[in-house]
Amino acid sequence: MRNRDTIEFLGLWESINNPKFKSIEFDGFRNQAGLNSFSLTPKRWIEKTGAIGITSKKGRYGGTYSHKDIAFEFASWISTEFKLFLIKEFQRLKEKEIERQKLGWNLKRNLAKINYRIHTDAVKKHLIPPKINKIQSQQIYANEADVLNKVLFGMTAKEWRTANLKKSGNIRDYATTSQLVCLSNLESLNAEYIRQKLSQPKRLIMLNQVAIVQMKAVLSTDTQSPKILRQRLNLIPA
For 76-102, what is each residue's pLDDT tens digit? Answer: 888 888 888 888 888 888 888 777 776
pLDDT of residue 220: 59
Measure the CA–CA gap between 52 and 28, rounded to whole angstroms.
Answer: 18
Q: Which mean pLDDT values do the consecutive 10-residue runs of the chain (238 residues) have?
A: 86 90 90 84 90 87 87 87 87 80 69 67 53 54 77 85 89 83 86 86 84 74 46 46
- Does residue 192 share a domain with residue 120? yes
Structural domain that includes position 23: 4-78
Asked if the structure places residue 226 within a domain, the reply is yes
- Does residue 142 share a domain with residue 28? no
151 CB-near residues (< 8 Å, 6+ apart) = 186, 204, 207, 208, 211, 235, 236
Measure the CA–CA gap between 179 and 113, rounded to whole angstroms.
Answer: 13
Cα torsion angle, 80, 83, 89, 92, sign = negative
41 CB-near residues (< 8 Å, 6+ apart) = 1, 56
Asked if the structure places residue 85 within a domain, the reply is no
Which stretch of DSSP H or E encloses residue 210? helix 200-218
- Does residue 106 share a domain with residue 73? no
DSSP letter (8 states) at residue 64: E
pLDDT of residue 187: 87
- Does residue 55 share a domain with residue 110? no
- Does residue 191 share a domain with residue 161? yes
Compute the C-alpha angle 47/50/51, nearest 5°.
105
- Does residue 213 share a domain with residue 103? yes
Which stretch of DSSP H or E encloses residue 215? helix 200-218
Round the CA-based radius of gyration of the chain to a whole number and report it.
30
Q: How many domains does the chain have?
A: 2
- Does residue 201 share a domain with residue 133? yes
pTM for this model (two decimals):
0.41
Task: Point out the domain boundary residue: 78, 104, 131.
Answer: 78
pLDDT of residue 50: 92
234 CB-near residues (< 8 Å, 6+ apart) = 152, 153, 154, 155
